[in-house]
Amino acid sequence: SAALSAPLPALERIRADVQAMHAYLVQSSEGLLKLDAMENPYGLPPELQQALGERLGRVAINRYPGTRFNDLKAALARHARLPEGWALMLGNGSDELITLLALCCSRQDGEQPAAMLAPMPSFVMYPLAAHLHHMDFHAVPLRPDFQLDEAAMLAAIESLRPALLWLSHPNNPTGTLWDEAAMARLIEAQGRAGGIAVIDEAYQPFAARTWLDAARQRPAEHAHVLVMRTLSKFGLAGVRVGYLMGDERLISQIDKARPPYNLGSLNIECALFALEHASVFDEQARLIRQERERLQASLHRLPGTRPYPSEGNMVLLRVAPEGAPASEAAAFARCVFEGMKARGVLVRDVSAMHPMLAGCLRLTVGSASDNARMLAALTAALADAL
């Protein structure tokens, strides 16, 4: 329109690097089976919907969130069995916590920028938060099997002395659960380098291990370690509740940067309600893990593709022929992605995220019927693409 093409000097006030950024991709999913964002497919059972509605109707929405905010912290501490001497803070999704950590570790103008280190491919919000807060982001490539390159990570920790080391455990988008001993050595090295290690356990409901066990068993080695979780993959992605746990001295500092009322009262009440019915969500997670194994087995039978092992509620699938040049592999994956979409199924084409992912799709594990529909669409789209 004419209004949009008129000059807008105020735009120059927005940082040039922000103007040059790509926005986080939220794909439109209207009319499609949504298997692109690692959501829980089951939703709230009807009898709980009614009870939740009644609870929400009584929330004092004229007041800022107060005591119920603290009740939620206490309920999450019980739910996670918070290690002794640790504290917990809340974020509007763990995305907000990632931003707050970068904000707290970034330095003022004139000082050497602080470094952030993560293996890559991993969660895209880590580099995004680093860039927004003028931290230097350093990526260490994963090995071809998507496990940690321990020697390269150790060398990076020693030379960069990063303020923040991120380990997504399990990793998004690969689904990998890192080798435990390698992880312990990296965390120890990060402690010696005087930095913070953040273990991002967004996919913990589907994983065989949690790093909280190590923190409980060896507390002295974990004063510099933060463990981050979210209720999103537990079944509450729409409610936006993430939480960060660690030594109370660290948490109390980071919590100062949090906007005071960062979680809405309705969302707090929803999360409390869900935790009172945790067994319902635990059972859903069990079903998803079971479906993941069934899906993996079916994908292994699909000729020409390679599913990677996963401890999350997603499976990374290489659809392009192994060894194809990156651009050809990416074009092939795009074609399969579009073919699936034309058949009503939305997954995520991760080819553009990282060169190692060229030719890969990330499939969220849905219900048994969702997965059957996805497999049918995938099989047909692959046949068309070949």
Which positions touch ligand PMP (CB under 6 A)?
38, 93-95, 123, 168, 172, 200, 202, 230, 232, 237, 242
Least CB distance from residue 124 to ligand PMP, whole Å? 9
Largest CA distance in the chain: 64
Least CB distance from residue 223 to ligand PMP, whole Å? 23
Least CB distance from residue 83 to ligand PMP, whole Å? 21
Which residue is closest to ligand PMP by CB?
93
Q: How far is residue 24's CA from residue 230's CA, in Å, rounded to a whole number?
A: 19
Helix (H) or strand (E) holding 155: helix 150-160
Closer to ligand PMP by CB, 133 or 343: give it.
133
Least CB distance from residue 45 to ligand PMP, whole Å? 22
Closer to ligand PMP by CB, 238 or 303: give it.
238
Q: How far is residue 245's CA from residue 210's CA, in Å, rounded to a whole number?
A: 13
Q: How far is residue 338's CA from residue 320's CA, in Å, rounded to a whole number?
A: 14
Q: How far is residue 292's CA from residue 313's CA, in Å, rounded to a whole number?
A: 7
Least CB distance from residue 230 to ligand PMP, whole Å? 3
Closer to ligand PMP by CB, 168 or 176: give it.
168
**Best CA proximity match to 212, nearest among 119, 384, 84:** 84
Closer to ligand PMP by CB, 205 or 242: give it.
242
Q: How far is residue 223's CA from residue 99's CA, in Å, rounded to a whole number?
A: 21
Residue 212 identity (one-letter amino acid): L
**Best CA proximity match to 81, nearest among 167, 210, 196:** 210
Least CB distance from residue 178 to ligand PMP, whole Å? 13
Closer to ligand PMP by CB, 228 or 329: give it.
228
Closer to ligand PMP by CB, 242 or 359: give it.
242
Least CB distance from residue 140 to ligand PMP, whole Å? 17
Closer to ligand PMP by CB, 168 or 210: give it.
168
Q: CA dist 373 to 28, 274, 294, 367, 380, Å? A: 19, 29, 14, 10, 11
SS3 168: strand
